[in-house]
Amino acid sequence: MDSEFTTNDTPSSRRMPWERLRRPVLTAAALMVMALILRIALIASFAPEPPPTGKDYFLTMLVGLHLDLVASFILTAPLALWCLLVPARWIAARWHRVLMLAASIFSWLALVFLHIAEWFFFEEYRSRYNTVAIDYLLYPTEVVANIRESYPVPAILGACALGTATLVFLMQKLAPIGAGAVTSIWKRSQWAFGWLAMSVALVMSVSLAEVRFSRERVVNELANNSFVAGITAALTRNLDYAAFYPTMPREEALAICRELLADDGATFLSPESLQRRIPGSLEKPRLNVCLLLEESLGSEFWGSLGREKKTLTPHLDRLANEEGLFFTNLYADGNRTIRGMEGILASFPPLPGDSIVARDRSENVDTLARVLGRDGYRTLFLYGGRGVFDHVRSFNVGNGYERLIEQKDFANPSHTTAWGVCNEDLYTRAIEEMRTLHESGKPFLVTTLSVSNHVPFTYPKGRIKEDPNAHRRDYAVKYTDWALGQFFDAVKKEPFWKDTIFVVVADHGARVYGSQTIPIHSYEIPMLMLGPAATQQPRRVDDLACQLDVAPTILGMIGRPYDSVFFGHDILNAPARTHRALLHHNRSVGIYRDEHLVIFGLNKEIEYWLGNPRASLPGAAKRAPLQRVPEPDAVFKQLVREATALYQIADELYMNRRYQVHSRPGENNPLTDTKKAVSATKNGGTGG
């Protein structure tokens, strides 16, 4: 009988099959050493200020050791099962040796690259691999080109090759795969089952709360393991909201939402809906709107906000100080472009999991383009990149924009990067399109989304004195400011200038930094409205607001009636009680108001942070910085109720495809009744 299938229980067969297990055991050990080296490097480079306590460092290493062990067992499980279960006659075969060598080279090359790449990822996002990394895997064209243009690729590949060669050599030398003393398939199967059972047990030992031991977010990220974090992000892209976050009875949640969204003069059209009619006058002209969404143009760069000793935005500062309506206390809803689109265009709360821009039930949600389209506007979206990236084309074309112009539609761009054409080309095309739309005699909404202020931070030479080959963020900001300055110099000469509201607003801040679970200070963005139709004199607006408030504020400035299910408010006209910011980071969501920040985490955890996120700014010496507090006061308790209701109802509306305006029976346009009333009044009728 072939010894592979014998079931004898000799002393030899009871020994551990070391020749078979040596490779997976040493591979797991090598992975743990690599993870430890990476963690030490990240701590040395990115430890927060003030420095963590000794207890934090101890827990960082302890939690990290546990998660590294989990990751190493999972990653080596296929190798362990193969080594234990293949027949002895295969192991000695030439084809098997070649296969194992090729698999070893490929696997180590990928693992070494991911460890090196994570250092750069952490530098940018102060986070282990998260939803950003998962999303980027879906777009290899942009990501590979971005890596090639932004990072020292030859050095990285050289390090990968050297690390891979070293590890493969050591594995071949120290852990050759032998047939082993144990020849019984039964015994080897027991060891294979044991490895698999240990892997499952380790996975079950992982707790989502394990990496939330510190009140300092970055410390928790340092303790995490990149593969565990990445898998967690991938598995929570579409969360069951009610299973993981606080909820309340639906009737109570709906009532709270209706109370929170009841702006002065608004009329709810149904007792079971958030749809309401926002008052206005049909006598007011249908002003054009040009909405300029700016990549990563956070408040930290604006000299007019006192953030830089030497401003990076001289053109925008001049416009803000001398001409514009300048909103100085605005927060992004997240740290991704699709979060900015979700908040600015759809006035929709940032639910945990993916943005609705990237989800599968967003084919008919209400947006600024839909509202204006119902009032006879022409709508156009211009994007410097490929429309497929981040669902830009599918979301916008599916939700109110009649046309979308993307990278392929720019014939001879003056400069391109991995992300698309430069800002000046985008704005030149926007002026051409607005000129054509103006000549058609219909009002228009033109929205642009820029890409220049993004790694690799390059731009056409000669526009500013700084060298684009330096690949520096502050230079890209200066170029963005220059391009916007050129745009406004040119557009002021156009016939549609006086009838158009121009809005400059960032999609999100530049970097993620801060100790809070939601690092709110890095979410600060300005908004600037320009043009005679927007304001006749410069003015600053310091009221607290967020991206959800952008669309209602634009519509309020136009002043015509419309139907809406938006969650935001007109900043210029809404009562003070509506001033709040809804926020998102990774799998946490929150609400901020009156120096109180409430954060909802997975497994229905609630955090309370008290203080002012702007406490470190010049002139803010008397403000207390945000600090986590153990017990909620009355304001916190009220915010918990508000946030629970807002996020719960938003999730319900989205999941049931009801975030949209429904016309009443016999009404094809939400403005029909009002138009009939105006017509009847003009003809001597009662308007009733």
pLDDT digits (tens, 9 = 90+) for 114-126: 999 998 888 877 8
**Which residue stretches of 414-472 are H helix?**
423-439
Provide the pLDDT for residue 642: 97
Question: The dihedral of CA 123, 129, 130, 132: what is its sign?
Answer: positive
Provide the pLDDT for residue 491: 98
Q: Quick: pLDDT tens for 433-482.
A: 999 999 999 999 999 999 999 889 999 999 999 999 999 999 999 999 99
14 pLDDT exceeds 50? no
Alpha-carbon distance of 568 to 546, in angstroms, equals 8
* Contact yes or no for 595/502 (Cβ under 8 A): no
Alpha-carbon distance of 457 to 2, in angstroms, equals 65
Provide the pLDDT for residue 9: 43
Region class of 347: left (phi > 0), else alpha (psi between -120 and 50), else beta:
left
Q: Which residue has the tokens 């005699």?
A: 441
Is 211 exposed, middle or buried, given 0-12, 13-18 or 19+ CB atoms closer than 10 A? buried
Provide the pLDDT for residue 208: 73
Q: Quick: pLDDT tens for 423-447.
A: 999 999 999 999 999 999 999 999 9
Provide the pLDDT for residue 426: 97
Report domain 250-275+285-680's class. Answer: alpha beta
Instruction: Read off the pLDDT of each residue in 130-134 and give the average, rounded to a whole number.
Output: 76
Provide the pLDDT for residue 512: 75
- Band of the pLDDT at 11, cuts 50, 70, 90? very low
What token pair was written down for 559?
A: 């002043």
SS3 content of the chain, % helix, strand, coil (to 5): 50, 10, 40
Which residues fall within 8 angstroms of residue 237, CB to CB, at 6 or more apart? 131, 134, 353, 354
- Band of the pLDDT at 15, cuts 50, 70, 90? low
Alpha-carbon distance of 435 to 231, in angstroms, equals 49
Instruction: Read off the pLDDT of each residue in 680-688 and give the average, rounded to a whole number.
Output: 32
User: Mapping DSSP to helix (H, G, I), strand (E, B) and coil, where does residue 547 land?
Assistant: helix
Query: CA dist 423 to 53, 388, 451, 477, 543, Å?
Result: 45, 19, 7, 11, 30
Alpha-carbon distance of 652 to 247, in angstroms, equals 11
- Band of the pLDDT at 684, cuts 50, 70, 90? very low
Identify the residue with better confidence: 515 or 371: 371
Angle formed by the axes of helices 314-322 and 473-491, to 10°?
A: 50
Provide the pLDDT for residue 32: 95
Neighbours of 451 (CB within 10 A): 24
* Contact yes or no for 365/356 (Cβ under 8 A): yes
393 pLDDT exceeds 90? yes
What token pair was written down for 136?
A: 């980027």
Provide the pLDDT for residue 12: 45
687 pLDDT exceeds 80? no
Alpha-carbon distance of 7 to 9, in angstroms, equals 6
- Band of the pLDDT at 646, cuts 50, 70, 90? very high
Which residues fall within 8 angstroms of residue 471, CB to CB, at 6 or more apart? 150, 455, 456, 457, 458
- To the nearest whole number, what is the mean pLDDT of the chain? 87
**Is the peptide bond preceding residue 50 cis, with omega within 30 degrees of 0?**
yes
Instruction: Read off the pLDDT of each residue in 82-105 and give the average, rounded to a whole number.
Output: 87
Query: CA dist 111 to 31, 117, 422, Å?
Result: 9, 10, 34
How are beta strands 605-610 and 596-601 bridged, if at all? antiparallel
Calculate what percentage of the chain has a pLDDT beyond 90. Answer: 61
Alpha-carbon distance of 530 to 324, in angstroms, equals 5
Where do the domains of the chain lie? 3-235, 250-275+285-680
Q: Quick: pLDDT tens for 564-601.
A: 999 999 999 988 888 999 999 988 999 999 999 999 98
Q: Quick: pLDDT tens for 312-360.
A: 999 999 999 999 999 999 999 999 999 999 999 999 999 998 899 998 8
Least confident among 110-119, 134-143, 411-420, 564-573: 134-143
Provide the pLDDT for residue 246: 93
Alpha-carbon distance of 351 to 343, in angstroms, equals 11
Alpha-carbon distance of 549 to 343, in angstroms, equals 8
140 pLDDT exceeds 80? no
